[in-house]
Amino acid sequence: MLKLLTKLKTMRSREAMYLYLFIAPGLLGMILFHLAPMVASLGLSFTEYEITSPPEFVGFKNYHRMLFVDELVGKSLSVTAIYAVVGVPIRLFLQLFLAMLLNRKIAGIRLFRAILYFPSVVAGVAIALGWILLLNPTYGAVNHILWELFGIIGPRWLNSTQWVIPGLLLMSLWGIGPGIVINLAGLQGISPELYEAAEIDGAGGTRKFLHITLPMMSPILMFNLVMGIVSNFQIFTQAYVMTSGGPANSSLFFVLYLYRNAFEFFKMGYASALAWLLFAIILILTLAVFRSSPLWVYYEAKRERN
Amino acid sequence: MGIGSAEYIADRQDELRLVRRRRRARTILIYAALIILSIIALLPVMWMVAISLTPLNKVFQYPPRLIPDPLSFTGYHEAVTLFPFFRYFLNTSFMTAARVIGTVFSASLVAYGFARYDGPWKEVLFVFILTPIFLPEQVTLIPLFVGYTRLGWIDTYNPLVLPAFFGGSAVYIFLLRQFFMTIPTDLDDAARIDGASEFAIYWRIILPLAKPALATVAIFTFMASWNDFLGPLIYLTSKEKLPLSVGLSRFLGESGTTLWNSLMAAAILTVLPPILLFVFAQKYIMQGIAITGGGAKG
């Protein structure tokens, strides 16, 4: 008996050993590339550090400057926030709408799904460069189409302090492919019986959408809302490549400003404080969405329990 | 007017015809919408292709044309001569290949551990390893840069490639663990009885069975790495080490008057590999997004 127990024990500890052995790379990676840098980042945010000389402790100076002195922090935050507040809902709506359009069993639907996802495959710098031309006020396709189809003289887009954000928002609509696919997967998860029952009760398209589709999709909408907010606050490439934050800082996104402080002005301490502000904002917004979710997100399991 | 009366039947037939006609009209409307949306979706890339085939002096012409006249391949010629396309292509390929290999092996190793073995603190460690999913990478950017500078790793590929060998992106660990848990343990036990080592079970049994999930991870890592901009921008300084993404953005700023047709040609050549991958591996991409929620980063 005792022998068996010790054998079991060694088997258990052997199993634990394998567990730790196999997950070791991940554990090490987490500590080396995430945890340690995060702690270091917090430490650095209380220093003045320009890489060439050792960091110098300055207390809350960076935070004071960030919150009360540096006007560009407020500017970049408002640029980022406006972009998010306008862009995220538009994209959420468009993703759901397109997913509903694509959620049909008609001939060729797979091809249409592929085509509407396609623009999201060609992401990054290459496509950003293309959009500089597309948004060219005089020779670009966007203004040409506006003129030909609607007789509208298009704005100066990236050259205008007012239109640069709308221009970038317009471009972002070509990157909603993943959102469409997530919504599509969600729509396919809704049981057709729900719609059939509603039809028998005489519900029309609008009522079916409001009383079945929206509530059933609300967890996915929430997920996309969180991801949308998080990714919006991390926008960098477009601003760096297409506008350099201009004209007159009107597209100075927060991460671009952070990048400049760190890698152009070499204010590593100050940039670390900015990074922690970004982290705090993302965390607060994410928590706010999760906290508010019982008010508007419908979970099926909960209903079954009642 | 009974149910069987001629009048009633005619009425029902009319109604049916109306329903059918309405349904057909709706289908036509849906196709029309899909076709218009498809054109809108493809327009930016088609436009870029058009510019890449336009002679430079016709790039800025009014009205803009979707089919260039005359067709010119100077853009593509210059994209591979004036712009060191092949050099950058090789750099991007190396960086991407290393990250794909590193991520596929290390993420699957960690995922296998979590899927198959038990031990104290397992749950806590799992959550611990997954937390980076929710951390913005900007927070770690500066200390990592400082650390790599101390190590003398600036202007090497180490900062861009090494993290991939330590589990890569946490999302993939999660995705693979989920997949491994669906593989029955009978096979492991059978192999164990045959004297296979634990590593052999992972290597010879689990990995071959998990090919679809591994393919998804490989494809996402490829896409993210191919488009990565911020990393190379920060860590690489010499021109001959740049990947396509940073190379392209420098090409824009270099000449006073930008060679737009060559720039677009280089851009099109740059997005060609991701497009090809999408065409051939569409299934894995769509499934992967539906599982991970598209939040996959490289």
Token readout for B227 is: 């488009």
- Residue A85 falls within a domain, yes or no? yes
The two beta strands, A56-57 and A47-48, are antiparallel
Rg, C-alpha atoms of chain B = 27
Specify whether A152 is located in the same domain as A68: yes
Which residues have CB under 8 Å from A72's CB, separation 6+? A249, A252, A257
Specify whether A221 is located in the same domain as A261: yes
Interatomic CA distance for residues A123 and B211, integer angstroms:
26
Q: What is the pLDDT at residue A2?
A: 67
Interatomic CA distance for residues A93 and A271, integer angstroms:
35
Interatomic CA distance for residues B130 and A236, integer angstroms:
24
Q: pLDDT, tens digit, for every residue of B168-206?
A: 888 899 989 988 998 888 888 999 999 999 999 999 999
Residue A271 near chain B (CB below 8 Å): yes
Interatomic CA distance for residues A226 and A234, integer angstroms:
13
CA distances (Å), B298 to each of A280, B168, B261, B291, in order?
23, 7, 31, 16
Specify whether A123 is located in the same domain as A30: no
Place of tokens 């060439």: A52
Specify whether B11 is located in the same domain as B139: no
Choose among B42, B138, B263: nearest Cβ to A278. Answer: B138
Specify whether A171 is located in the same domain as A214: yes
Please say which residue of B42, B74, B106 terminates a domain: B74
Specify whether A114 is located in the same domain as A39: no
pLDDT tens track, chain A, 306 positions: 667 777 777 877 888 999 999 999 999 999 999 999 999 999 999 999 988 888 899 999 999 999 999 999 999 999 999 999 999 999 999 999 999 999 988 889 999 999 999 999 888 899 999 999 999 998 888 999 999 899 999 999 999 999 999 999 999 999 998 889 889 988 988 888 989 899 888 888 889 899 899 989 988 888 888 888 888 888 999 999 999 998 999 999 999 999 999 999 999 999 999 999 999 999 998 888 888 888 888 776 554 443
- Residue B1 falls within a domain, yes or no? no
- Residue B297 falls within a domain, yes or no? no
- Name residues 163-192 of chain B within 8 A of A (Cβ): 163, 165-168, 170, 173
Specify whether A131 is located in the same domain as A215: yes
- Name residues 244-263 of chain B within 8 A of A (Cβ): 244-246, 248-249, 252, 260, 263
Choose among A22, A32, A125: nearest Cβ to B245. Answer: A125
Contact B107 A185 (CB under 8 A): no
Interatomic CA distance for residues B42 and A174, integer angstroms:
9
Specify whether B118 is located in the same domain as B234: yes
Token readout for B134 is: 């929710």
Specify whether B142 is located in the same domain as B106: yes
- Residue B176 falls within a domain, yes or no? yes
- Residue B266 falls within a domain, yes or no? yes
Residue B6 near chain A (CB below 8 Å): no
Across the A:B interface, residue pairs with CB atoms under 8 Å apart total 277
Let me know how long chain B is.
298
Q: How many domains does chain A have?
A: 2
Contact B136 A181 (CB under 8 A): no
Choose among B109, B132, B270: nearest Cβ to A126. Answer: B270
Give me the residues paired with residue A47 across strands.
A57
- Residue A190 falls within a domain, yes or no? yes
Q: Provide the shortest C-alpha distance from residue A139 to chain B (in Å).
A: 6
With contacts defined as CB-CB under 8 Å, which chain B residues touch A262? 141-142, 145
Specify whether B125 is located in the same domain as B70: no
Contact A245, A257 (CB under 8 A): yes
Whether the ω angle into residue B143 lies within 30 degrees of 0, i.e. cis, is no
Token readout for B56 is: 């430079």
Whether the ω angle into residue B63 lies within 30 degrees of 0, i.e. cis, is yes
Contact A131 B44 (CB under 8 A): yes
Specify whether B175 is located in the same domain as B115: yes
Amino acid identity at A227: M
Residue B234 near chain A (CB below 8 Å): yes
CA distances (Å), A260 to each of A30, A214, A270, A271, B234, in order?
27, 42, 11, 8, 11
Specify whether B132 is located in the same domain as B69: no
Among A48, A116, A125, A282, which would you mutate to test the B interface (most chain B Cβ atoms within 10 Å of its Cβ)?
A125
Please say which residue of B74, B100, B120 terminates a domain: B74
Residue A228 near chain B (CB below 8 Å): no
DSSP, collapsed to helix, strand or coil, labels residue A56 as strand
Specify whether B259 is located in the same domain as B177: yes
- Residue A52 falls within a domain, yes or no? no
Q: What is the pLDDT at residue B256?
A: 54
With contacts defined as CB-CB under 8 Å, which chain A residues touch B141? 262, 275
DSSP, collapsed to helix, strand or coil, labels residue B248 as helix
- Residue B298 falls within a domain, yes or no? no
Amino acid identity at A262: A
Domain carrying residue A160: 62-305
Specify whether A25 is located in the same domain as A115: no
For chain A, first and last CA: distance in Å? 49
Residue A296 near chain B (CB below 8 Å): no
Contact B216, B199 (CB under 8 A): no
With contacts defined as CB-CB under 8 Å, which chain A residues touch B252? 129, 132, 241
Domain carrying residue B68: 6-74
Contact B146 A51 (CB under 8 A): yes
Token readout for A284 is: 């607060």
- Residue A164 falls within a domain, yes or no? yes
With contacts defined as CB-CB under 8 Å, which chain B residues touch A122? 45, 271, 274-275
Specify whether B59 is located in the same domain as B69: yes
Specify whether B140 is located in the same domain as B273: yes
Q: How many domains does chain B have?
A: 2
Interatomic CA distance for residues B152 and B140, integer angstroms:
18
Interatomic CA distance for residues A144 and A55, integer angstroms:
54
Token readout for B16 is: 């049916």
Specify whether A29 is located in the same domain as A163: no
Token readout for A190 is: 């809704």
Please say which residue of B74, B100, B117 terminates a domain: B74
* Residues of chain B with confidence (pLDDT) below 50: 295-298
Classify residue B60 by burial, with Cβ atoms within 10 Å: 0-12, 13-18, 19+. middle
Specify whether B192 is located in the same domain as B57: no
With contacts defined as CB-CB under 8 Å, which chain A residues touch B166? 25-26, 28-30, 32-33
Specify whether A95 is located in the same domain as A13: no
- DSSP secondary structure code for residue A47 in this structure: E
Residue B143 near chain A (CB below 8 Å): yes
Specify whether B205 is located in the same domain as B81: yes
Specify whether B62 is located in the same domain as B168: no
